[in-house]
Structure 1
Amino acid sequence: MKVQQIQQSVQLAGLEDWGTAGLPGTEPARVTGRQVVIAGAEAIDTGVFECSPGTYRRSVKEAEVMHFLAGSGSFTPDGEATLRFKGGDTMFFEANTEGLWQIDETLRKIYVIF
């Protein structure tokens, strides 16, 4: 199949449990998702990601594009100003971008990691 579709990704049910993320001394965020494998491009990680409120460090070393479907919070890149986001926003991350996520309202996003 050359084209894959995630119908109604805003409401998609049955996401897989991906564990927790959090800083020591903070309430860990619950992480769920569904990965979508694109035939011939298996090195590209893409899918739906959801995270409950919490604070944690970004650990992805590759470049990433994400479009927020719902939720709100902020991301503070190391040494840079805090960026606020909410459903409808899109972010682009250079490879090796590290920083702190603060999820205020459960977020759901579509992501592509290169």
Structure 2
Amino acid sequence: LAENLSDEQQRHVRENLSESELVIFDILTRPAPTMSVQEQDQVKRVARELLARIQETLVLEWRQRVVTRARVQLKIQQVLDTELPAAYDKALFSAKCQAIFAHICEKYVA
């Protein structure tokens, strides 16, 4: 089975993340910061938690509703603020929040 999977699919399996979770993990870890294995595991948990919490918030045409967009942004900030390891400084934290919100806006159309 592993021979038939692409490198990215193998990575998805190896990291024990869904494809959606892997995208969030990549946003949070590429190109920075450099982290220990324990911190990477923590970021994997953050990716899972974040997607679960965001999906609770998404409703039909959520991108057109200012209040719902604000809720999604706030949820991203709250989860990342409480769950990310200390390797993220303020500027990097802000950049990662914006990148995840942009990804959610692009990929999660309801």
TM-score (norm 1): 0.26
Q: Which has the higher helix share?
A: 2
